[in-house]
Structure 1
Amino acid sequence: MQADGILGNLTLAELFPDTKLPRKLDDPSLVWFKEAQRLLGTREHPGVGSNPEIIEWVKDMKTLDYKSDDIPWCGLFVGHCISSTLDREPLPTRVLSARAWGAFGIATKPTPGAVMVFWRKTRDSGLGHVGFYAGEDADAYRILGGNQSDSVSLAWVAKSRFIAARWPATVSPPVPVEVTVARREPLSWKEA
């Protein structure tokens, strides 16, 4: 194991080998996912002006030029959650591009806290959406993401739109676990 400063499942398994430690949505070692949960309800400002909190996220990514929440910000949200909690984690060079997150970290299967990348409009459009895995049902993933109906919220994204699941490279690899959630809302098609 490599030291990462996070008391994760691998460390706990070494300390307590007889204890089963499935990764769940409330796992305290998912610090980036905890930050995402903390931001639930954050909304962009409609019309003129931007939500200063969303603009403030740019400070975590010093080289990023972002001045208006009218610009799609799902990648900015994911970048903020990761860079503000995992200071050694390299981010994609194009943080704002949802599809760029498909090369982030290491590949994994969908599991709590995983970065989930989807296509938007059409598979070949180059447009996408990115957020965090927060459950699934037979046909869709529940995604905790930014710029979902202009807010940080939970939305259902069709599994047919799925491109990749990624995991921070500086954190111990996950033991993927499926979290089944009952869906009561329609599928999302409005992520930007």
Structure 2
Amino acid sequence: MANEQVEPKWVTNGVKDLGFHETGNNLGIDKFIKQAHCGKLGDPWCAIWTNAKLEQSDIPGTRSPSSQSFRKHKNFVKLDKPALGALAVYTRGKPNSGLGHVGFYMGETTTQVLTLGGNESDAVRKQFEPKTRLVGYFWPKSVDLPKGGVIKVKSEDGNPVGSNA
């Protein structure tokens, strides 16, 4: 259960943003760009938001607006199992297209991962992503490794919406 794992500070900071919704085409994310030290208005902003929440928590991010930047960045290590708040990285299109999504692991069903992230249906929300697109779970090297483990959730937990990607 989730209460056995400690919620990382970046998740606590991220939850405070629930309900934020962009305006126009990826606009209104100025605060996150400033916190993340990367990106610009109009960019897809899932990695900008993820970096912003890490940096806001005094954790060095990748300072890249790419969702895939967490996969090989020196500040992050790949986990062998999920953990509350781990960075869940997904691909979109071809595996090496550079396209995808990133957010914080909050739990999973048999086929989907519940992710807290930015630019999920143009907002900060908890949303399910298909496990078939999951590349892996990543953790900041500057933070002690978590105990981790699967957190089972039901599809209605957190009132997430399905991915439209």
Confirm or deny a common fold (TM above 0.5). yes
Relative to the length of structure 2, the TM-score reads 0.86
Residue 31 of structure 1 corresponds to which residue in structure 2? 9
Residue 40 of structure 1 corresponds to which residue in structure 2? 18
Superimposed CA distance per residue, residues 52-72 of structure 1 (whole angstroms, 9 cap, x where no aligned partner):
xx212222344x351x1x320
User: Offset at 1:50?
Assistant: 2.8
Unaligned runs of 5+ in 2: none
Between the aligned partners of 1:170 and 1:134, the Cα distance in structure 2 is 21
Superimposed CA distance per residue, residues 26-79 of structure 1 (whole angstroms, 9 cap, x where no aligned partner):
x35x100101111111110025x932xx212222344x351x1x3200000000
User: Which one of 126, 137, 143 corresponds to residue 165 of structure 1?
Assistant: 137
Residue 182 of structure 1 corresponds to which residue in structure 2? 154
User: Offset at 1:159?
Assistant: 0.6
Aligned 1:114-133 pairs, distance under 5 A: 114-133=86-105
Structure-2 change in CA distance of 1:61 and 1:157 (3 Å): closer
Is 1:136 aligned to residue 108 of structure 2? Answer: yes
Is 1:97 aligned to residue 66 of structure 2? Answer: yes
> Which ranges of 4 or more aligned residues in structure 1 deviate by more than 4 Å?
none
Relative to the length of structure 1, the TM-score reads 0.74
Amino acid at match of 2:4: P
Between the aligned partners of 2:86 and 2:43, the Cα distance in structure 1 is 24
User: Offset at 1:106?
Assistant: 1.5
Aligned length: 157
Between the aligned partners of 1:129 and 1:123, the Cα distance in structure 2 is 12
Residue 50 of structure 2 corresponds to which residue in structure 1? 78
Amino acid at match of 2:69: A
Amino acid at match of 2:67: A
User: Offset at 1:129?
Assistant: 0.4
Aligned residues of 1:92 and 1:103 also touching (Cα < 8 A): no
2:102 is paired with a residue whose SS is strand
Aligned residues of 1:33 and 1:113 also touching (Cα < 8 A): yes
Amino acid at match of 1:97: S
2:18 is paired with a residue whose SS is coil
Larger radius of gyration: 1
User: Offset at 1:143?
Assistant: 0.5
Between the aligned partners of 1:45 and 1:61, the Cα distance in structure 2 is 19
1:82 is paired with a residue whose SS is helix
Unaligned runs of 5+ in 1: 1-20
Structure-2 change in CA distance of 1:65 and 1:177 (3 Å): closer
Aligned residues of 1:99 and 1:128 also touching (Cα < 8 A): yes
Amino acid at match of 1:59: K
Aligned residues of 2:46 and 2:118 also touching (Cα < 8 A): yes
Between the aligned partners of 1:182 and 1:65, the Cα distance in structure 2 is 34
